Amino acid sequence: MTSVPDIDDGAGTSARPAPGTDRAPGRDARPEAVPAPRGPDEGDRDRNRNSDRTTAPYPLPVRLAAALLGLAAVAAMCWSGLNHDVRYVLGGMRASGRGGIPASGTFVHRPLAYRWPLSWLDHLTAGPVAVREASIRLLVIVVAAAVVWWLRQGLARHLPRREANAVAGAVGLALLFAPAWDFLQPEWVAVLCAVGGLAAALAPRRTWVAVGLGGVLVALAVLVKYTTAPTALLPLGALLVLDRRRGWLTTAAAAVAAPAGFALAILVQPREWRWFNELSALNPNTPLQNGLHSADVHALVTTVGTEALMNPVVALLPAAVVLLARGSASRAARWAWPLLTAAGVAGVLAALVVQGQWFQYHLAALPVLAAALCGLAVARRPDLPLLAGALLLGVAVPLIAGQSWNWRHAHETAAYTLVSAVVVATLLTASLRGRVQTRVRLRAPLPRALLRYVPALALLLALAIPVWPTTPYSYDTRHSTFTSLERADTRHELTQWLTGVRHRIGADTPVTYLAFGDIGYLLGNPTHCRYPTPDFLQRTRYDRSITSQVSYRENLRCLSDPTSRYAVLDTSWFPLGKIAPATAAAVRARFDCERPLATLPAYHLVICPRRG
């Protein structure tokens, strides 16, 4: 293994020589009795074993408590279900699939590399909506847990065992406790693929196996949405630090696998190329198209500020980087920590700016990156600033975010001031070198024993905020009124009403959906249109130039489907008075929305029978 010195050398508190040796801490500190390593990885394994000998196992009561907390968290996540965007994708593929169109030929605003895995997940479930969502959640949790375990195995070959456990554990919690809006979005799936790519590149003993698996998984992190390409750079950067040779080889493998995967997608579904080129038309007026303006800068600051408030590990990231830099043995490493971290954060923010929609889930990689570095910082330097900040925000933020929207809006300044104050305080305290002793030193046996669990508890509190039932999707920006409780209530109400509609019109009756995809997800009737959510028709309310797109004309022909007996219209999402006149005229000519079969005014839904 060829590594960048001091970045991964455990130069913090965990890099102590084994008992019986008086060598200085560092990569070469080994007991005299241990022979020199025979291979590139064996010295690291020796060091890891020596570090493990000084660490007592956690008592049985602690492990039982952790298991119970884990089961409770999994139950809560399975109960909370899926967000509306994931339902949009699943609902579209289900509706078109029942109409004879496979997932590969269905447009749901996502690439084939994302559609296929979700379609496979969906086919593994059955039963009512709540049961299927819980099953999908559970399956993904199992996959994520396996990936994190694999990551731990790979990191343990390059870092002291305690650091590998801390990083893998923090990454796993950040993935599993992801905000409801993030979970299973393409950005979140890209992070999971990136973590898997890093694990695959580190864990296998054979280099060619590691490079091949790692390259494919890193390529998938790009292919699930394309704008997720910066996320794929994060595992490659970490890999170059930990094992430079495997890092460059995996980068080369990913550079080949990504275009090959894209070409394969086009071969499977030729429309994929057209959809790739026309996607930008559905998101007009982005900074990529019109340049970066002051309003975009304000939106960027607001989005990042909201992410730091709702995910305290993001707020604590600067302090973690300072602690890691302070623990490095060389000047180069002290500069490398902030520079590499800044590059990773800049890549994530660049993807947010390019899309220009300012959705919180576009930052899904940021909490995971922050959690990994916070976990490593706590493992190396369990200093008071980081732990105190995590404990303070871990307790305060759920209390603040769980209030009503009106209360949060009225106390917006106070909430952001609290986060800013914690960031500044942790940064200043972490930056004090040799002036103030911030290391926690308690001599009493009981407090010292309890102190072992303070770092884990602090990080757990900070990471668990998104899965609280009362935590909204954002503090005061997009979907700031959506919580797990609200989404569960909405799912229940809509499912009851749409079940009644399905019984009236027949479960196998083809329909035309003029509504967002989660309506088709809950109704379940088939459609013969490969645009189950009519995005190209709906976006004409914002940009009439979309009518020149080939996919718009293909979507418009769906209105002429002779087998479709009803149109499911959401008058708020698909207002006939605001979309392109030709589209509105085609809807009115074929469906009688003036005398609907059923209406649900609270959700702006109208069931329009076909004329004639």
Give the per-residue pLDDT at 563: 93
H/E stretch holding 511 reads strand 511-514
H/E stretch holding 598 reads strand 598-600
* Residue 576, helix vs strand vs coil: coil
* Residue 372, helix vs strand vs coil: helix
Give the per-residue pLDDT at 26: 38
Confidence of residue 380 (pLDDT cuts 50, 70, 90): confident
User: Averaged over 125-149, what is the pLDDT?
Assistant: 92
Pairing label, strands 511-514, 566-570: parallel
Tens digits of residue pLDDT in 418-427: 999 988 988 8
What gap in Å lies between CA 102 and CA 498, rounded to an integer?
Answer: 24
Give the per-residue pLDDT at 57: 61
What angle (nearest 5°) sits at the alpha carbon of residue 100, between those of residues 95 and 102? Answer: 80
pLDDT of 479 > 80? The answer is yes
Q: Is 34 exposed, middle or buried (0-12, 13-18, 19+ CB in 10 A)?
A: middle
| Residue whose entry in the numeric block shows the structure tokens 């871990």 | 394
For residues 433 and 558, which has the higher predicted lDDT (pLDDT)?
558
HSE, side-chain direction, 13 A CA sphere, residue 397? 31
Tens digits of residue pLDDT in 228-282: 999 999 999 999 999 999 999 999 999 999 999 999 999 999 999 999 999 888 8
Confidence of residue 71 (pLDDT cuts 50, 70, 90): confident
CB of 472 closer than 8 Å to CB of 481? yes
DSSP 121-173: HHHT--SSHHHHHHHHHHHHHHHHHHHHHHHHHHHTTTS-HHHHHHHHHHHHH
User: Averaged over 175-193, what is the pLDDT?
Assistant: 94
Count of C-beta atoms within a 10 Å radius of residue 477? 17
* Residue 513, helix vs strand vs coil: strand
Q: Whole-number mean pLDDT of the chain?
A: 85
Closest CA to 16 of 26, 7, 6, 3: 26
What gap in Å lies between CA 90 and CA 136, rounded to an integer?
Answer: 11
CB of 85 closer than 8 Å to CB of 185? yes
Give the per-residue pLDDT at 447: 52
Q: What percent of the chain has pLDDT over 90?
A: 60
CB of 109 closer than 8 Å to CB of 535? yes
Q: What is the Rg, in whole angstroms, of the alpha carbon atoms belonging to the chain? A: 26
* Residue 600, helix vs strand vs coil: strand
DSSP state of 466: G
Among 12-26, 293-307, 340-354, which stretch is predicted with the lowest mean pLDDT?
Answer: 12-26
The pair of structure tokens assigned to 347 is 């890549």
User: Averaged over 557-574, what is the pLDDT?
Assistant: 94
Q: Cα-flanking dihedrals φ and ψ of residue 533, to 5°?
A: -105, 115
Give the per-residue pLDDT at 333: 83
Give the per-residue pLDDT at 484: 83
pLDDT of 400 > 60? The answer is yes
Question: What per-residue string of b and e applies to 557-584 under the rule 16 or more CB within 10 Å gives b?
Answer: ebbebeebbbbbbbbebbebeebbeebb
Tens digits of residue pLDDT in 315-351: 999 999 998 988 888 888 888 999 999 999 999 999 9
Count of C-beta atoms within a 10 Å radius of residue 355? 18
Give the chain's end-to-end CA distance (angstroms, integer). Answer: 74
Pairing label, strands 566-570, 605-609: antiparallel
Identity of the residue numbered 539 = R
* Residue 344, helix vs strand vs coil: helix
CB of 6 closer than 8 Å to CB of 333? yes
H/E stretch holding 570 reads strand 566-570
What gap in Å lies between CA 599 and CA 569, rounded to an integer?
Answer: 9
Tens digits of residue pLDDT in 138-177: 999 999 999 999 999 999 999 999 899 999 999 999 999 9
User: Averaged over 33-60, what is the pLDDT?
Assistant: 45
Closest CA to 364 of 317, 402, 314: 314
Give the per-residue pLDDT at 224: 96
What gap in Å lies between CA 549 and CA 551, rounded to an integer?
Answer: 5
* Most distant pair of Cα atoms in the chain: their distance: 92
Give the per-residue pLDDT at 39: 37
Q: List all residues 6 or more positions away from 266 whose beta carbon is below 8 Å from its beta carbon.
A: 272, 273
Tell me the CA distances in angstroms from 412 to 76, 306, 313, 391, 399, one per residue in order: 28, 11, 20, 21, 13
Closest CA to 323 of 401, 375, 394, 263: 375
